[in-house]
Structure 1
Amino acid sequence: MVGVRIAFVAALLVTAAFLKACGGGSVPREDRAEWRDRAEAQCMASGRVRKSSYVSQVSMISGPSSCGIRAPLKVSAALGGRVRITPTATIGCPVTASLDRWIHKSVQKAAYRQFGKPVVEIKQISSYSCRGRNGRKRGPLSEHSYGNAIDIAGFRLSDGRQITVVKGWWRGSRREKAFLRDVFAGACDEFYTVLGPGSDRHHYNHFHLDLLVTNVSKGRHYCRPKPRRGLFAEAGGLAADPVSTASIKPIPFTGPPD
């Protein structure tokens, strides 16, 4: 797992009252659930995420509302630095650990199975972002507001080939479709919420991955569309191009030119 234990665990544990709701602007008001800080502190204390040239701890992020990360990490690579994350993601410890496991257990295996080559870069289009779900001004905050989510839009193989969700999911080759469905199914094993093309109009161009504990029911995670590995029945079609849910100011990404 990603490189030398990040210090300051003791300080992390004694600030449990951090970030109660303080309101603010157009961001929905929400109290910070106790499990969030506990999960982050336990992850940091476990040593599952360690400081390295591609994982660094930065100053605590706070508000408005209950947005923020007590121990934010800047993550620019995974798997010992072998897989770049671009642009650098700002996420919490639990998502960092799960991202690394998913790449190791699912992404690389699917890449070798379908293409005989490893993934060397993953394109993300949203990490930390204080906002309502799908950019709404009312309702619950997005898991991005807590650094507890990441949106994945594409993958680059060691030979330079790029596979994007927006093009590959519906219109890619059989191998591209099989790869994307395999990694999506693997994400459903690792993350508590996984949304992709066909789930709704907002996720046509990326996989949304988060660790919202209330989406775990009897050991099952919330996954839409319901996955099965390899090529599976596809309902619906490519959605019209909506305002992306990637972030308040989305990072443009449509994949390589045809």
Structure 2
Amino acid sequence: MRTWRRLGLAFCAVAAVSGCGFFDGEEREPWRGKVEAACIAAKLVTKTDFTRPIDEIDGPGVCGLERPFRVYALADGSVGVQPSARLGCPMTAVLNDWMVRSVQPAAQARFGVAVVEVRNMASYACRTRNNKRGGKLSEHAFGNGLDIGGFVLADGREISVLKDWRNGTPEAQAFLREVTAGACGAFKTVLGPGSDGHHENHLHLDLARHDPAGRRAYCRPKPVVPDLPPEPEVAPLAEEPAISYAPKAAPFDGPTGSIRPRRDVEIMEPPPGWDEGED
């Protein structure tokens, strides 16, 4: 990691004739190394057949991460990532949690089957937001962001952000909005179709810090979860003889499939001078 700043300055010196907006003024925030180290120490992500540590990514410039993983699957290997992604420990851990708490309950509620694969459109890449020349570095440059283009269901159906966000079946549209709402707060930036023109074909998820405490989340479009359709009416059963005791039902402790944005985070409005392109 000690070479990041030195290489960035050297690159700018060489490229001064043509301008060096890529690294100019960029420094690696101290919180990045701290949260990565804490994640590793807590063993939130460990070596498995589907999550494999890879060599340190050191530059160019301040890009990279010390303890990256090659992620082939999420949720204990039950959801493939295709193609595989290069991500940091914090991003991998939150993706696993989101898959279990939001994505799978939404898939079961809307389709009656599980998600078995996500379509990865971008993970680690040393670049600026939306590849904008002179722009701020993207969270992708730190292994701290993932772009998802779609979800593959166990029955073979694929739910595409591009095709289904606006023109899909009611179930597909509701599913995409539900998983987006479930991502808001777990991730600190969530962008999808209608956010800024750069995310019409994918959901961008990252763990950027928008405030010192890392509590604020920036989510566009604002999360709105459609209600589940009403249960079909069932004809009443024939009256049964009365019983002298009340039967006990086992308490249900599983997910409900209705995921709302987290309430322990603040959904922020864009601050003055905010660059809408966060991807």
Alignment of 1:101-250 (within 5 A): 101-214=97-210, 219-230=215-226
Q: C-alpha distance in 1, partners of 2:140/2:6?
A: 16
Contact 2:129 2:278 in 1 (8 A): no
Among 65, 73, 86, the residue aligned to 2:82: 86
Q: Residue deviations 1:152-211, cap 9 Å, x none?
A: 110000000000000110110100000000000001131000000000111000000000
Q: Determine helix, strand or coil for the equivalent of 1:227.
A: coil
Tell me: CA distance 1:227–1:216, structure 2 relative to 1, closer, same or farther (3 Å): farther
The aligned counterpart of 2:69 is 73
Give ranges in structure 1 of 5+ residues lacking alignment.
1-14, 232-244, 248-258
Q: C-alpha distance in 1, partners of 2:162/2:211?
A: 25
Q: C-alpha distance in 1, partners of 2:3/2:88?
A: 15
Tell me: CA distance 1:21–1:226, structure 2 relative to 1, closer, same or farther (3 Å): farther
Contact 1:64 1:130 in 2 (8 A): yes
Aligned residue pairs: how many?
219
TM, length-normalised to structure 1? 0.80
Tell me: CA distance 1:215–1:186, structure 2 relative to 1, closer, same or farther (3 Å): farther
Contact 1:151 1:246 in 2 (8 A): no
Tell me: CA distance 1:139–1:189, structure 2 relative to 1, closer, same or farther (3 Å): same
Tell me whether 1:33 sits opposite 2:29 in the alignment.
yes
Contact 1:191 1:221 in 2 (8 A): yes
Tell me: CA distance 1:216–1:178, structure 2 relative to 1, closer, same or farther (3 Å): farther
Q: Once superposed, what is the RMSD of the aligned Cα atoms?
A: 2.1
- The Cα shift of 1:215 comes to 5.4
The aligned counterpart of 1:237 is none
The aligned counterpart of 1:49 is 45
Tell me: CA distance 1:209–1:215, structure 2 relative to 1, closer, same or farther (3 Å): farther
Tell me: CA distance 1:146–1:21, structure 2 relative to 1, closer, same or farther (3 Å): farther
Q: C-alpha distance in 1, partners of 2:58/2:129?
A: 18
Q: C-alpha distance in 2, partners of 1:175/1:56?
A: 35
Tell me: CA distance 1:35–1:148, structure 2 relative to 1, closer, same or farther (3 Å): same
TM, length-normalised to structure 2? 0.74
Contact 1:119 1:155 in 2 (8 A): yes
Tell me: CA distance 1:108–1:215, structure 2 relative to 1, closer, same or farther (3 Å): farther
Who wins on radius of gyration, i.e. which is larger? Answer: 2
Give 1:145's aligned amino acid: A
- More displaced 10-residue stretch of structure 1: 62-71 or 107-116: 62-71
Give ranges in structure 2 of 5+ residues lacking alignment.
228-276
